[in-house]
Structure 1
Amino acid sequence: MSTSHRDGVGKPAILVTAADLAPQALELLDAYDIVYAGKNPTEQDIVSLCRDHDPVAIIVRYSKVGAAAMDAARSLKVISKHGSGTDTIDKAAAAARGIQVVAAAGANAAAVAEQAMALLLACAKSIVGLNARMHAGYWDKATHKSAELAGKTLGLVGLGAIGRKMARMADSMDMRILGYDPYATDLPGYLSRADLATIWRESDAISLHCPLTEENRNLLNAQTLAQCKRGVYVVNTARGGLVDEMALLEAIRSGQVKAAGLDSFGVEPMAAGHPFRNEPGIILSPHIGGVTQEAYVNMGIAAAKNALAALHGQA
């Protein structure tokens, strides 16, 4: 376990489950002793640091925060996510202990939506494969035809800040857009609300933008993939648990799914020997959709502000 501190003798502690935080966020937290958990903290590392430093807040970037960490931090008031997804935090345990859980919703929306669109375009335009062929000395102009997204239907599952930005980009590309989100209101005119059955049946491309819950785990599975158009594109920049990975692999190999662009996985980092690594129909990125310099600052500031609001009784 690698830890470091910002000098804060006598100040209440805030634990950051990472090795760094944006300077703009640190300025907001000047009244607190910042304890860093290091680059790759384990869940047990977090428990030990909570026991040693008794933080009043935890800013979560990496690792899980469960009941054991909460019990070890007797003064803990708030757990603030450096991002929008709170599935790595045991929210039931936090609620039972009166600990607030807050997220930096929307702070990385532009970054993730851009990554999702980049993955979709890479799938439709065969960017990765053509690049490899060119580097190997081939010129496939006479034999290759890419797909055109204009006029095609994009199905979005989740219409929060990220899903809506993705919809806006797709609209500018003259795509038809269907969206499923039981909680979304005030949808723009170019985005048509649809149920999941319609999303599966009518979409030429499907992009996931919803949080992971026990109810939607393996949302894309053998059954739902079979309901999709043959040759559909699949993009996931949300959470790996939304996709049954072996079912997707089989659908890629059978041609039911033309190509997939994935930025999140059931187990991260991806295990050695994972079959996705040798599958040319799947484009991979290491869960970096929200990792831009701009999003790093935005998420840090939002996480810090959310923690302070809770600590000051304003949340």
Structure 2
Amino acid sequence: MLRIFLTHTPDSLPLLFPPNARAKLQEQCELVINPTGKVLAGAELARAAAGCDLVIADRQTPVDRAFFDAAPDVLAVMRCAVDISTIDVDAATANGVLVTRSIPTFATSVSELALGFMIDGARGISHSVAAYRSGKLPALGMGQQLAGKTLGICGFGVIGRQLATLGQALGMTVVITDPAPGSLPDGIGNVAFDVLLGMADFVVCLAPSIPETAGMFNARAFAAMKSDAMFINLARGELVDEDALIQALDAGQIACAAMDVGSAHDQRPPSRLATRNDVIATPHIGGQTPQASEGQAMHVASQVLKIAKNEIPDNAVNADAATRLHARISSSNPNSRSTT
């Protein structure tokens, strides 16, 4: 029976690895829940996971070289997310440990949050709510309707495609920028980044976090946007030069911003932006719906059950280098070959 260590703290466990997924694993595996109540790392994480075959890592837990060097029995580290930037894959590979990722079950959840941001920014909903709750009478201002506006999506992956569908359903013109967008739905054009910035009333950052996209939203990018445009970041904080964003807001180069991610702890928006009147901020909740969270956790459970059957699961990052798991598979049946 496989023994599995869940790195999640008590606060994050029910949100990020819900009961149904845990129950699925407990049918065939032994679960060990992080007993410390805190985020673990390095050798401390290795000590907590001692005797476990697999580690399922939440988004706050860094799984670094110090962990891999101190965890000789771990077969695989499994991220319950698509993003594996918190895992040192090179160190895992050097130690023969499999790394896996989950699937993007959060596309609808994140795209709906983007839509909420746009409506809030266009109609000033948060401002009115805050005024009423503080005992004040909100000012009557002129809002904007989304129909007829241009939605610019930077990064046309699963979330971008879902958001584009929502935008078109609302009567928006949708343009995207992506170096490899795949097939485009009718009515959607792929344009250069600078062109999109000058066209869009709502600019939504959904680009992947890779070295080439770091800081792509900088002073030059914000200067290219319309002065009444809204900037929305639902990707990663490192894609945005936050100092440049503050300067753009202060100078009136853009009207407002919304963000679910940023440079603060747990990839949340920093307070210097989140507390501004011209910023709508949420604490990294894009994928925090039962459907999205349970979908990813259940996918990880299915990966674990494949390993239990001595198979290499889908969405493995370094399958060929997973020598520990391959050795386990070979020893269980010397005449068989690993299944990928």
1:93 counterpart (91, 98, 101): 91
Q: Given the superposition, is the C-alpha separation of residues 134 and 185 from structure 1 closer, same or farther in structure 2, using an over 3 Å criterion?
A: same
**3-state SS of the aligned residue for 1:215?**
helix
Equivalent in the alignment of 1:46 = 45
Q: How does 1:236-247 map to 2 (within 5 A)?
A: 236-247=233-244
TM-score normalized with structure 1 length: 0.86
Q: Identity, % of aligned pairs?
A: 26
Distance apart, 1:40 and its partner CA: 4.1
Matched, 1:258 2:255: yes
Q: Given the superposition, is the C-alpha separation of residues 120 and 211 from structure 1 closer, same or farther in structure 2, using an over 3 Å criterion?
A: same
Equivalent in the alignment of 2:173 = 176
Aligned-partner residue type, residue 22 of structure 2: L
2:282 counterpart (265, 281, 285): 285
Q: Given the superposition, is the C-alpha separation of residues 114 and 271 from structure 1 closer, same or farther in structure 2, using an over 3 Å criterion?
A: closer
Asked if the contact 1:262–1:284 (Cα under 8 Å) also holds between the matched residues in 2, the reply is: yes
**3-state SS of the aligned residue for 2:294?**
helix
**3-state SS of the aligned residue for 1:188?**
coil
Aligned-partner residue type, residue 237 of structure 2: G
Equivalent in the alignment of 2:207 = 210
Q: Which runs of 5+ in 2 are unaligned?
A: 315-340
The worse-fitting range, judged by mean Cα deviation, of 18-27 and 170-179 is 18-27
Asked if the contact 2:236–2:267 (Cα under 8 Å) also holds between the matched residues in 1, the reply is: no
Distance apart, 1:205 and its partner CA: 1.0
Equivalent in the alignment of 1:17 = 7
Provide the rounded CA distance (Å) in 2 between the counterparts of 1:183 and 1:305: 30
Q: Given the superposition, is the C-alpha separation of residues 302 and 202 from structure 1 closer, same or farther in structure 2, using an over 3 Å criterion?
A: same
The worse-fitting range, judged by mean Cα deviation, of 60-69 and 111-120 is 60-69
**3-state SS of the aligned residue for 2:212?**
coil
Equivalent in the alignment of 2:56 = 58
Q: Pick the structure with greater CA Rg.
A: 2
Provide the rounded CA distance (Å) in 1 between the counterparts of 2:214 and 2:270: 23
Distance apart, 1:140 and its partner CA: 2.8
Equivalent in the alignment of 2:222 = 225
The worse-fitting range, judged by mean Cα deviation, of 157-166 and 17-26 is 17-26
Equivalent in the alignment of 1:107 = 105
Distance apart, 1:191 and its partner CA: 2.5
Q: Deviations over 1:8-48 (max 9, x none)?
A: xxx43222221432232223323322222365413244343
Aligned-partner residue type, residue 140 of structure 1: A
Distance apart, 1:307 and its partner CA: 3.9
What is the count of residue pairs matched by the alignment?
A: 302
The worse-fitting range, judged by mean Cα deviation, of 280-289 and 208-217 is 208-217
Equivalent in the alignment of 2:139 = 140
Matched, 1:151 2:125: no
Asked if the contact 2:60–2:266 (Cα under 8 Å) also holds between the matched residues in 1, the reply is: no
Equivalent in the alignment of 2:327 = none
Q: Given the superposition, is the C-alpha separation of residues 83 and 279 from structure 1 closer, same or farther in structure 2, using an over 3 Å criterion?
A: same
Provide the rounded CA distance (Å) in 1 between the counterparts of 2:292 and 2:177: 26
Distance apart, 1:150 and its partner CA: 1.4
Asked if the contact 1:82–1:104 (Cα under 8 Å) also holds between the matched residues in 2, the reply is: yes
Matched, 1:300 2:300: no
Aligned-partner residue type, residue 58 of structure 2: V
**3-state SS of the aligned residue for 1:110?**
helix
Asked if the contact 2:228–2:255 (Cα under 8 Å) also holds between the matched residues in 1, the reply is: yes
Q: CA RMSD in A?
A: 2.4
Q: Given the superposition, is the C-alpha separation of residues 273 and 47 from structure 1 closer, same or farther in structure 2, using an over 3 Å criterion?
A: same
Provide the rounded CA distance (Å) in 1 between the counterparts of 2:268 and 2:56: 28
Q: Deviations over 1:145-174 (max 9, x none)?
A: 012221111111122211111111111111
The worse-fitting range, judged by mean Cα deviation, of 86-95 and 223-232 is 86-95
TM-score normalized with structure 2 length: 0.81
Asked if the contact 2:201–2:226 (Cα under 8 Å) also holds between the matched residues in 1, the reply is: yes
Q: Which runs of 5+ in 1 are unaligned?
A: 1-10
Provide the rounded CA distance (Å) in 1 between the counterparts of 2:296 and 2:172: 30
